[in-house]
Structure 1
Amino acid sequence: MSVFPVVKGTRLRATKVNSCGLPVAGNANYVVTNGWVSLAISPVMQEAEELEQRNAEGRVCVADRTPPERKYYNLTLTLCQVNTCLITLFNGWEQELDWEGNAVGVRDQRRVESDYGVALEVWAGGKAGNDCPTPEDDSIFASASTGKSYGYFLTFGTEFTLGDIEIAASVANFTLTGITFAGPQWGRGPWNVVPTDADNTPGRLLTPVTDDQHLVIQRTPIAPPEPTPGEECCPLNIGSVFTAPNFYFGGPDGEPAADVAPAQTACVPTP
């Protein structure tokens, strides 16, 4: 049984994906940041429908109801002091460059991006009552860590738009709102986020994301990644790092997918 509190957002990682959740390689296609205030995840439901038929006397002769279903979730991400590349990553807006080619802003567009989206991973703090079990033998030394675990949230968002901006004698935050979608082509993901053995070896999700799932929530002892340099967007490599025998989905002759994602190349932020 997993019981854990959700206290404080520790880290956020956004990875560019297509409309099926497949990670998209590119020069500025992922970012890890502390520069966010909150993430709200609100379900949008298909309400239950009452089915009823009355007979000629006006009495109910057939009664039933359809079950409610989750259609998707509304996402509201509030940002503070973030690089403009993150906004571009979410909604496809054009970067504004200075005379040296460095990103200094963004320019809006009329069309809302829906062909691509982002995989959003969020780590939350909060100590659970079972984070420090009493050891039964000395095997605990082989897997010793900080003793801290995290709440891990994974979802897939698209159709992000920038909310109201109020400039006044107060702090102004940027708010991005979008909707979730199923990301079955994320599979087990390109990142190491859960333990794969008793030694707490960081690895990929143990079970692939399916075509019916918009949200994954679990407890993990694997610490969140550090922010990318300058909290800038970094190059994402997929085909060049997931090579035999480290396959993303599996090899041509039935070889299994890699349990541990290969390391990405050193991050050199792309303007």
Structure 2
Amino acid sequence: MSCPLIATADVFRVTRVDQCGSPITGPKNAFVVECFSSVAFNTNVDDGDDIEYKAANGKVCGFRKGCPTFRGFDVEINFFAVSPELIELLTGNPVYVDASGKVIGTDSCSLQCKSGFALELWAEVLGEECEEGAKGQWVYFLLP
């Protein structure tokens, strides 16, 4: 299966990770979501600085194209509905609870720089033959 055709993305899981990318164990460290419409991994690239030398008459005497640097991926997720617990896992911003302890919202004033999450996504593969007894083939994505 060199280039599978993906039919649908069925479910993803967000897991809290530390600064080294290791899962943080404990309660409320993961969240599973089915109600989303799309997930995109957009490249984040610094194009670099072009260097150009011009003579006094405007003639270009030397030019070097800037060297792009890959910085990683920006993850874009479109949800149908979002819970405060998921927002907390994705941003690191704390949730707010009411007097009975029920989660009622999240702090969206700033993004925490020291939080992290892993994103796992399962997507069904089209048109591949399955082994006897198997219930389908899936592509598994893990970021980071």
Fold-level similarity (TM above 0.5): yes
Question: Counterpart amino acid of 2:140?
Answer: Y
Higher strand share: 2
Q: Structure 1: 5+ residue runs without aligned partners?
A: 134-139, 157-271
Match of 2:129 among 132, 139, 145: 132
Segments of 5+ residues of structure 2 without an aligned counterpart are none
| Identity among equivalent pairs (%) | 23
State the TM-score, normalized to the length of structure 2: 0.77
Which residue of the partner structure matches residue 67 of structure 1? Answer: 67
Residue aligning to 1:120: 119
Does the CA contact (< 8 Å) of 2:52 and 2:60 recur in 1?
no
Structure 1 residue 82 displacement after superposition = 4.4
Matched, 1:31 2:31: yes
> What residue in structure 2 maps to residue 155 of structure 1?
143
1:110 aligns with 2:105: no
Q: Residue type matched to 2:46 in 1?
A: Q
**Residue identity matched to 1:132:** E
Contact 1:124/1:152 (8 A) holds in 2: yes
Q: CA deviation at 1:35?
A: 2.3
Alignment match, 1:95: 96
Distance 1:5 1:78, change over 3 A: same
- SS of residue paired to 2:67: coil
**Partners of 1:56 and 1:95 in 2: CA distance:** 63
Counterparts in 2 of 1:1-271, with a 5 A limit?
A: 2-53=2-53, 58=59, 60=61, 62-91=62-91, 92-97=93-98, 99=100, 101=101, 103-128=102-127, 131-132=128-129, 144-146=133-135, 148-156=136-144
Measured at CA, do residues 59 and 29 of structure 1 come closer, stay the same or move farther in structure 2, by a change above 3 Å?
A: closer
C-alpha distance in 1, partners of 2:110/2:67?
A: 35
Letter in 2 for 1:73: F
Q: Higher relative CO (CA 8 A, sep ≥ 6), structure 1 or 2?
A: 2
Aligned letter for 2:17?
Answer: V
- After TM superposition, the score normalised by the length of structure 1 is 0.45
Tell me the SS of whatever aligns to 2:118. Answer: strand
Deviation at 1:15, TM superposition (A): 0.4
